[in-house]
Amino acid sequence: MTRSWQNPLRDERDKRLPTIAGPCGLVIFGVTGDLSRKKLMPAIYDLANRGLLPPGFSLVGFARRDWADEDFSQVVHDAVKEHARTPFRQEVWDQLVEGCRFVQGSFDDDAAFDNLVQTIQDLDQVRGTSGNHAFYLSIPPAAFPKVIQQLARTGLAEPKNHEWRRVVIEKPFGHDLTSAKQLNKMVNEIFPEESVFRIDHYLGKETVQNIMAFRFANQLFEPIWNGNYVDHVQITMAEDIGLGGRAGYYDGIGAARDVIQNHLLQLLALTAMEEPVSFDPQAVRAEKAKILAATKPVGPFSETTARGQYTGGWQGGQKVPGLLQEGGFAKDSITETFAAIELAVDTRRWAGVPFYLRTGKRLGRRVTEIAVVFKRAPHLPFDATSTEELGQNAIVFRVQPDEGVTMRFGSKVPGSTMEVRDVNMDFSYGHSFTESSPEAYERLILDVLLGEPSLFPKNDEVELSWQILDPIMKAWRASGKPEPYQAGTWGPASAERMLTRTGRHWRRP
């Protein structure tokens, strides 16, 4: 149930995150992890600072460390000071820290979960959290079932009367279709689907939500948003960082499971889906699921996919190690750090339009974008030499870092001859809006507390995404090692070949 109330700390002029969470608390499992320190704790503070949390909001950390409430509060404090987006205000912190508690224990420790029950009951009394609690699983996937069972055993999963209980699950949600189905079944036996919030933080990004505004609020683009005009779509999520320090999570997972299965397929769904009948969570999720159900990998995979692993090289003037030299990775690891795949969306709108998805670590620069590339004009009434520098028209959603939308088209070069060259027309958030965008986790945590599920993939979306990826992963397992590519480049040679075989090219953002 969605609740809202008036919070005195809130700035009424702030329209970006307009609804305030009612009385509630959040329990984080895996509170000593990086995600928690760098994203979750700062996001909670930023929400509090903007007056979007109730004054009695409570934050409970659960972990093995031998910490007292004060130690935990200090960790939250340091994380907020280091990573929060909004300025530190003592009065906001003083109010937040009053609600910080720590419960020590491991996930198979019944007594620790009994303590958690006690802590939550106390908070309901002293902080007025009214039995409304969300449980955030920022823990290794192998531990999901154990924690969810403990929540069931202790009755924490079951709300009484007007209370609510919700579970937030970080990715990866399974490692293939079979395991995702098992996990969904297990979770749904304990938490009804409307209480399950699967995190895909890309959906919390402003630029990603803007894809729907761009497509469905304008008359200009939708008529050409189909295979009559679109030649192909390229979705790129490139990162310049390496995987030092992340071996525990990443080795054996790889780029396709880490980001294609979730972030990139969600971007594809938003780019390709039909207009939802409304912006109700059900309507939007149903349209995304329909597109994912129509999306198929295109073979032969030896030609239509690419898989790479970075070796040492130079990046930003610095010498950087290859994956196999990063601490914690097996010396013969075949985990891919680059993945590119071709997909077809089998609908009337998209028949014959390839969707190319690529992602990688230690690439040329950090950029995420969706480029919708249009067919060439059917006829060019110019000399061939006049249009030598004319490419294909494109609309590019710049998801990050330079958030905005670019349109590329041909224009006459000033001068006495008719020469046509590509130019860009730009919309940039920085120039058009004075408000800065909230962090994805701010938006998503608030939506969990409000019970607003639109930005969280449903069980069927997650399964459909694995269904798309599974055949590719199977082929890759059989084909042995990924292809090496040098750090600081744009991936392995096979990625280039994937497109050049059809006369196309990856963009160099």
Q: Please say which residue, 239 or 369, places its beta carbon nearer to ligand BG6.
A: 239
- Show the tokens assigned to 500: 């050049």
Q: Using N-to-C axis directions, what is the helix angle for 206-216 and 265-272, rounded to 10°?
A: 20
Total interface residues for ligand BG6 by CB under 6 A: 4
Q: Please say which residue, 259 or 395, places its beta carbon nearer to ligand BG6.
A: 259
Number of residues written out for the chain: 509
Give the Cα separation of 206 and 217 in Å (integer).
15
Q: How far is the CB of 239 from ligand BG6 (least distance, A)?
A: 6
Among 46, 231, 258, 463, binds ligand BG6 (CB under 6 A): 258
Q: How far is the CB of 488 from ligand BG6 (least distance, A)?
A: 17
Tell me if 412 is assigned to a ligand binding site: no
Alpha helices in 177-326 (DSSP H): 177-190, 206-216, 247-250, 254-255, 265-272, 281-294, 301-304
Q: Please say which residue, 239 or 463, places its beta carbon nearer to ligand BG6.
A: 239
**Residue with smallest beta-carbon separation from ligand BG6:** 258
Tell me if 205 is assigned to a ligand binding site: yes
Q: How many CB atoms lie within 10 A of CB 432?
A: 9
Give the Cα separation of 197 and 300 in Å (integer).
36
**3-state class of 200 per DSSP?**
coil
Q: Please say which residue, 38 or 215, places its beta carbon nearer to ligand BG6.
A: 38
**3-state class of 483 per DSSP?**
strand
**3-state class of 303 per DSSP?**
helix
Among 231, 239, 342, 463, binds ligand BG6 (CB under 6 A): 239
Q: Of residues 260-299, which lie at the interface with ligand BG6 (CB under 6 A)?
A: none
Among 80, 180, 259, 306, binds ligand BG6 (CB under 6 A): 259
Q: How far is the CB of 243 from ligand BG6 (least distance, A)?
A: 8
Handedness of CA 76, 82, 84, 88 (dihedral sign): positive
Q: How far is the CB of 121 from ligand BG6 (least distance, A)?
A: 34
Give the Cα separation of 9 and 12 in Å (integer).
9
Q: What are the distances in angstroms from CA 321 to CA 315, 328, 484, 486?
A: 10, 13, 13, 10
Amino acid at 300: P
Q: Of residues 180-209, which lie at the interface with ligand BG6 (CB under 6 A)?
A: none
Q: How far is the CB of 235 from ligand BG6 (least distance, A)?
A: 13
Encode burial over 171-200: b for 16+ CB neighbours within 10 A, e otherwise.
Answer: bbbbbbbeebbebbeebeebbeeebbbbbb
Q: Please say which residue, 195 or 368, places its beta carbon nearer to ligand BG6.
A: 368
Residue 162 falls in the annotated catalytic set: no
The binding track of 363-382 with respect to ligand BG6, each residue x by CB under 6 A or -, is -----x--------------
Q: What is the CA radius of gyration of the chain?
A: 24
Q: How far is the CB of 402 from ligand BG6 (least distance, A)?
A: 13
Q: Please say which residue, 20 or 405, places its beta carbon nearer to ligand BG6.
A: 405
Query: Which of these is catalytic: 162, 263, 379, 431?
Result: 263
User: Which spans of this chain sit near ligand BG6 (rule: CB under 6 A)?
Assistant: 239, 258-259, 368
Active site residues: 263
Binding positions are 64, 171, 201, 205, 239, 258, 361
